[in-house]
Structure 1
């Protein structure tokens, strides 16, 4: 029997959204069948299909950009789509390669939900999960809305284009050049349109899945630090000396476990975060460039579509940086709690035991992208400034 009698409903509520998006692309690290063979039969073909669709969109689009297109402005407009596909493919491959690290993080979350017994601690954890779920849902709305605008509404609203050579061109969700067949002929056009649309779903699902994982882990870490604050206050307020050793041991154990969990999350998310930060910086730049181009062309549909894309990119980077900021703030909260304790109410030997806990808390842990970019609101400001700088550089090509 689990220590938490609400464990099954709690863990379902915690993992529900993340499990849904992870299973869509075949990277949920826990088996949901009792037999190993059905799990392999289900996930492996799904992973192969996802990679195949991503590459089948990426390669023809790159051929179109670097071989067919000659106008530098059109190349820049299409290259943003190429870059987004590259970023999604790299993140997807990373999540597959480091699936065990993702599983280890989720196992620790599961273990904490199994063992929580204090009602106030459980409420604190549920509140953090609720915040994380809302952020993931908001991310999913922005991402898929952007996908519908860019890959369905925008190409369909353009209609058929007739060239001066009397050749009819039907736009695709992603501009592409297929050497071995003419994509404009039916049913090739309809098939490619459907496959590219489905490839877009995969790209956006990868974005939401990686975002959801880091959000779940950071919110869980913040909840554990809230619990640590409560444990420290309970230790200092304890009046019976025979209970002090036990409560001190609980504080030390919880502090070490929580910091080890954050290190594990850092190892699992540092490179996806780096790819997201660097890729989004360039993509914000390209989105801004497309907005300027469409503003001059007075194309309202394309302009709105690129505004949605820009909003989605800014939102995603802001939340990644917000997650890092939450870690920093919670670490500072622990340090402030320890520095303002009424330690003089404790026996001398127990008060001295707080010195080591204080020393550990003063070594702040942060979430980093690639071990050299701290995720914080300051980083978000730097990303926006860097994107504007690149945008000015692109405009110099005009």
Structure 2
């Protein structure tokens, strides 16, 4: 048998950066990237502090002004109901932002494990497996970014201009705004002030969209990497029976497989530990926001406002897809972890020498209880619970419409 090819990954730093490319751009805007990625320059850290302060300022201003408008006599009941969605969205985004900050050490630990795996890869086919799974993570991240930004940009720009009347009954020009309440602090009748306020709202929307998409992209990339490591374990298991080695060599190969499997399980457990609070906020917050969007959809349907109907529908699809991504990656991780047991059983283990086959029983047993990503350890993210969330949001929105 020929000597095994050793393929050192000299470009592992580039591989890590390419794997986290979407997270890097999104988290830079939020000022969090230097917190979770240690290899950053001094200039990046200074810019991160500025971005962090700016993001928290605009989010806090948005929350205060919309809260005052929504919960006081400045708005009628119909406006209050429509503003509960944006108000809840900024509140939950700030919660996710907060947990991204306080859990930055956990995110950094996961990234360090990811970087170590890229550095430790020694065979070219294993690197190709990791690249394929990383590409799947990129694809899901792109879909999440496109859906969220298309829905959000439509709500912030298209709907205010095309679904509102330009003048009111007092013959005063009405400046279209996506979020009501900013006239408390700004005189929107002055054109320069209105342009500044509108741009401020758009920037606030970008910050909120970045928070939502960055959480989704981090979770997607971590799970994609874990699936890549599981696929490497599967490749090692399949190749085990093809080796014509001595008993000692088989034992060494089996030790490598078990060690790699255990390391992958620990990384999967770290993902669940890091994301469980954020996933709970995402699940609860998105479910409630979907209820308010459905209420607005029904209201605008009665008003026959086609632009508003299209905008709310696309926004609703964006949030549904966001929840679907979380449930999909949770289902994918469970499925991949279960494959280790199935693959270990399906190979020709009876041709292995001595008691080597008995070592596979441990992997089969562990695979019967695959790692799950949970929302606060209360509910697992899976296709079944995705259906439950969608159904519950519909019933709650119907209840709101009935009482309204």
TM-score, structure 1 normalization: 0.94
1:163 to 168, 173, 198: 168
CA distance in 1, matches of 2:92, 2:366: 37
Structure 2 residues not aligned, in runs of 5+: 1-6
CA distance in 2, matches of 1:300, 1:191: 28
Structure 1 residues not aligned, in runs of 5+: none
CA distance in 1, matches of 2:380, 2:338: 16
CA distance in 1, matches of 2:373, 2:163: 43
CA distance in 1, matches of 2:319, 2:262: 35
1:21 to 26, 38, 45: 26
**Preserved contact between residue 183 and residue 189 of structure 1 (Cα < 8 Å):** yes
**Preserved contact between residue 186 and residue 197 of structure 2 (Cα < 8 Å):** no
Note closer, same or farther for the CA distance 1:69–1:387 as it changes in structure 2 (3 Å cut): farther
CA distance in 2, matches of 1:363, 1:315: 27
CA distance in 2, matches of 1:180, 1:133: 41
CA distance in 2, matches of 1:289, 1:181: 29
Please name the residue that 1:43 is paired with.
48
Q: CA RMSD in A?
A: 2.0
Measured against aligned partners, the alpha-carbon deviations of 1:16-37 in whole angstroms (never above 9, x if no partner) come to 12211111211112245444xx
User: How many angstroms does 1:67 deviate by?
Assistant: 0.5
Please name the residue that 2:274 is paired with.
268
**Preserved contact between residue 88 and residue 285 of structure 2 (Cα < 8 Å):** yes
Please name the residue that 1:327 is paired with.
333
1:234-273 matches, within 5 Å, as 234-240=239-245, 241-273=247-279
Please name the residue that 1:80 is paired with.
85
2:143 is aligned with 1:138: yes
**Preserved contact between residue 163 and residue 305 of structure 2 (Cα < 8 Å):** no
1:38-187 matches, within 5 Å, as 38-158=43-163, 161-177=166-182, 179=184, 182-187=187-192
Moved over 6 A (4+): none
**Preserved contact between residue 218 and residue 327 of structure 1 (Cα < 8 Å):** yes
CA distance in 1, matches of 2:140, 2:91: 24
CA distance in 1, matches of 2:284, 2:382: 15
SS at match of 2:241: helix
2:367 is aligned with 1:349: no
CA distance in 2, matches of 1:123, 1:40: 33
Measured against aligned partners, the alpha-carbon deviations of 1:175-209 in whole angstroms (never above 9, x if no partner) come to 11554554444433222211111110100011111
2:174 is aligned with 1:208: no
User: How many angstroms does 1:397 deviate by?
Assistant: 1.7
2:389 is aligned with 1:379: no
1:312 to 314, 318, 322: 318
Measured against aligned partners, the alpha-carbon deviations of 1:104-133 in whole angstroms (never above 9, x if no partner) come to 111111111111122221111111111111
TM-score, structure 2 normalization: 0.93
Note closer, same or farther for the CA distance 1:115–1:276 as it changes in structure 2 (3 Å cut): same
User: How many angstroms does 1:88 deviate by?
Assistant: 1.1
